[in-house]
Amino acid sequence: MRVSPSACAVALCALALSSAFAATQLIAQSPLHYPIARKSDQSDTYFGTTVADPYRWLENTDSPETKQWIEAENALTFQYLASIPERATIKDQLTRIWNYPKYTVPTKRGKDYFFTENSGLQNQAVLYVQHGLKGVRKMVLDPNTLSADGTVALGVWDATENGKYLAYAVATAGSDWEEIRVRDVEKGADLSDTLKWVKFSNIAWTKDHKGFFYSRFEEPKSENALLAKNTGQKLYYHYVGEPQAKDRLIYERPDHPQWGITATVSDDGEYVIIYVSDGTNPNNRVFFIDVSNPGKPKINNPLVTLVDDEESQNRVIDNAGDVFFLQTTQDAPLGRVVAVDINKPAKKYWRTLIPELGNEMENVELIGGHFVVHTLQDAHSVLEIYGLRGNRVGRVSLPGIGTITAVSGKPNEWEMFYSYASYLEPASIYRYDIEKRTESPVLVATPPVDSTAYETKQLFAIGKDGTKLPIFVTAKKGLTLDGSHPTILYAYGGFDINMTPAFSPAMLQWVTMGGVYAVAVIRGGGEYGRAWHEAGMLAKKQNVFDDFIASAEYLISQKYTSSKKLAIRGGSNGGLLIGAVETQRPDLAAVALPAVGVMDMLRYQKFTIGGAWAPEYGTSDDSAQFKTLYAYSPLHNIKPGTSYPATLITTADHDDRVVPGHSFKFAATLQRAQAGPAPILIRIDTKAGHGGGKPTSKQIDLATDELAFTVKNLGMSQTPTP
């Protein structure tokens, strides 16, 4: 992608590109001269502890002083990156690898199939509809036409059961804020409907095709909507053709402003299922409303409680009349399937259909009168078929160590689609016949690089406290273990999010250059169920960092790499991980790549949706939690006079999830503290956000710069052509 920094930075980048040799000489001969960031006397007192925050002013992304600092930092960063001889070749190779078709699993509405496809290098995937399996596809929506630079992205979408209307969300410049619009599919034209201030919402049509449920916040009162706190999400029902002001309020909880509220509609159209969660806590409450009515849905019928506590994760798979099939972790930390009679919804009446299976139950769907059960075995997918009585009737054979990324189908139809990917195989779509137990490829994605020379292995490290830690390692077959291989180690470790095998063009580019790509499965995720997640949150968050360090040390001990040849990378909560590991163990790796990280653990809750992360992290408003956060907060554990690894911090000006002030303050502090010769740089993208909806061009440019920075600072001498 082409980065678009401010006018000043563009001029300096152009200068660097035209005189790369001179820039290389300058960097090689002397330390970088970082932009001077003013230090203020700002400080805060937490329970008797005074904490300095000299770069608080960098939180204000709109101030002239911050903008000037951004321009200067970007100018330095892009000058440095432009001086790397391999950068152009890396971009050319990466662009070639990226150029393959990418698909999503079809969603069936009536006899129509809706799916998205990116032909290869399109900035945004295009939404199509196809009548029948062998019908001719028709374009429904091309997001690439919504902006000249591809920075308007298609978000969540859903079509009516008759395929007449499409409700879809769009986001601009990477923001989490979305706007929902309604399109007449046959005419290919939008109606007048425009719904604003939508964020973290589903779209769920009622079966009469007259309207849909969605979630929204109030319009931010702050002038800067990208920084304003997001609280008080509400569930609404919108009738097609009416203005947003007339939308019906369905459910709100003003007594719990951090609670999130979303909804789905059962396949038979009889019920709207309402999910309520305390921020990012995966445990949730479940309510429902009987909306069945031959005429107008009774959206204002009484709310019925199914689960009203935070003891478990719960999801309604579907229903058979008054019986709900529920996937739950209640009395089953790895998950089970139960039948719930809604006339007697108390837990003592729940009837187990599929008990805990020994592996984490990732997802369950009701398709063709059977339960399709997706579990994780050591963080890779297993897909099995069960009868409605809980009897196992079959297993879908998968190609290898990979991930089922999505499953779709109807409760009363035999046809199922699933998407499968691995580290060396992009996501391809398969059709599976539940009755005949046969499958066939439908949409196959093949990258323009032969990956058969490479392989993925699963290793197991032992953590500081004896915990078994899986590591996926992808590299060239027959790798000689002599400690010489440049290695990127990636992890996340939080929010019950699983790190399972996934294809990445940048990863494939890296291994074709002779690198090793490793992914550590560490606590804080959900790969081994509730206990695994809870062992890496709140007061136990240090386990996450220790697990990552143990994984790195294992790779070094097994001679895959060495500290001088190791780069560590993570994004968002994973950016926090890299920041914490870098400040705790600056000797562990030669390169650190923290992306859009949560770096100030004392103030994260004061911006946008940050307050919703309190169940995961705790907050500095609590005395005990403050001590935990202060002990590992990356910003507050930078020590002046320390030799830190070469660091490329990445963020974006429109990141309204992890606001860029986190990365700004971390960069300014780390630059001032750095005692060694390694560069500390920050790359600040423009018209981009946390990562969702990022145009292909921007993804390629970011991956290029991270790889080029890594190549230079790991001392890689060549970049073979794949």
Q: pLDDT averaged over consecutive 10-residue blocks of the chain (722 residues)?
A: 28 26 30 93 98 97 94 97 96 96 96 96 97 94 95 96 97 92 97 96 96 95 78 96 96 95 96 96 96 61 92 97 97 97 95 97 98 98 97 93 97 97 96 95 90 96 98 97 98 98 97 97 97 98 98 98 98 98 98 98 96 97 98 98 98 89 98 97 88 90 98 81 49
Strand bridging mode 137-141 / 178-184: unpaired
CATH pick for 455-713 out of 3.90.650.10, 3.40.50.1820, 3.40.50.720, 3.40.190.10: 3.40.50.1820
Mean pLDDT of the chain: 92
C-alpha 48, offset from chain centre: 37
Rounded Cα distance, 717 and 572, in Å: 31
- State which amino acid sits at residue 474: T
What's the whole-model pTM score?
0.92
Rounded Cα distance, 138 and 392, in Å: 39
Annotated active-site residue in 381, 663, 690, 697: 690
DSSP readout, 534-573? HTTSGGGTHHHHHHHHHHHHHHHHTTS--GGGEEEEEETH
Q: Could you tell me the CA-to-CA distances from 412 to 364, 374, 516, 645, 664 in Å, in that order?
A: 15, 19, 46, 57, 53
Is 131 a catalytic site residue?
no
C-alpha 464, offset from chain centre: 28
Q: Is 423 helix (H, G, I), strand (E, B) or coil?
A: coil
**Predicted pLDDT at 300:** 67
Rounded Cα distance, 233 and 201, in Å: 9
- State which amino acid sits at residue 35: P
Rounded Cα distance, 719 and 517, in Å: 15
Ranges of H-type helices in 474-541: 505-512, 530-534
Q: What's 657's DSSP letter?
A: S
**Predicted pLDDT at 718:** 57
Cβ(638)–Cβ(630) below 8 Å: no
**Predicted pLDDT at 8:** 31
What are φ and ψ of residue 568, in 5° steps? -115, 140
Annotated active-site residue in 419, 572, 663, 697: 572
Cβ(377)–Cβ(335) below 8 Å: no
Rounded Cα distance, 608 and 210, in Å: 33
DSSP readout, 193-230? EEEEEE-S---EE-TTSSEEEEEE-PPPSSS-TTTS--
User: For residue 36, what are its two tokens?
Assistant: 């001077």
Closest CA to 648 of 563, 582, 715: 582
Q: What's 525's DSSP letter?
A: B
Is 533 a catalytic site residue?
no
Closest CA to 687 of 157, 214, 152, 278: 152
Cβ(448)–Cβ(458) below 8 Å: no
Rounded Cα distance, 222 and 177, in Å: 15
Cβ(653)–Cβ(66) below 8 Å: no
Q: pLDDT tens digits, residue range 30-62?
A: 379 999 999 999 999 999 999 999 999 999 998
Rounded Cα distance, 188 and 165, in Å: 10
For every residue of 273-339, which 3-state class applies, written as one string?
EEEEEECCCCCEEEEEEECCCCCCCCCCCCCEEEECCCCCCEEEEEEECCEEEEEECCCCCCCEEEE
Q: Is the dihedral of CA 713, 78, 607, 143 positive or negative?
A: negative
Cβ count within 10 A of residue 424 = 22
Rounded Cα distance, 183 and 192, in Å: 9
Q: pLDDT tens digits, residue range 347-371?
A: 999 999 999 999 999 999 999 999 9
**Predicted pLDDT at 299:** 66
DSSP readout, 429-481? EEEEETTTTEEEEEE----SS--TTEEEEEEEEE-TTS-EEEEEEEEETT---
594: which strand partners?
A: 570
Instruction: Quickly count helices (H) and strands (E) in the chain.
Output: 12, 39
Rounded Cα distance, 174 and 655, in Å: 7
Cβ count within 10 A of residue 249 = 10
Tally the residues of the chain.
722
Q: Which residues are CB-contacts of 260 (< 8 A; sequence separation ≥ 6)?
A: 200, 215, 233, 276, 277, 278, 279, 612
User: For residue 483, what are its two tokens?
Assistant: 């400690």
Rounded Cα distance, 280 and 538, in Å: 13
User: For residue 632, what are its two tokens?
Assistant: 């590992």
User: For residue 369, what are its two tokens?
Assistant: 């009168």
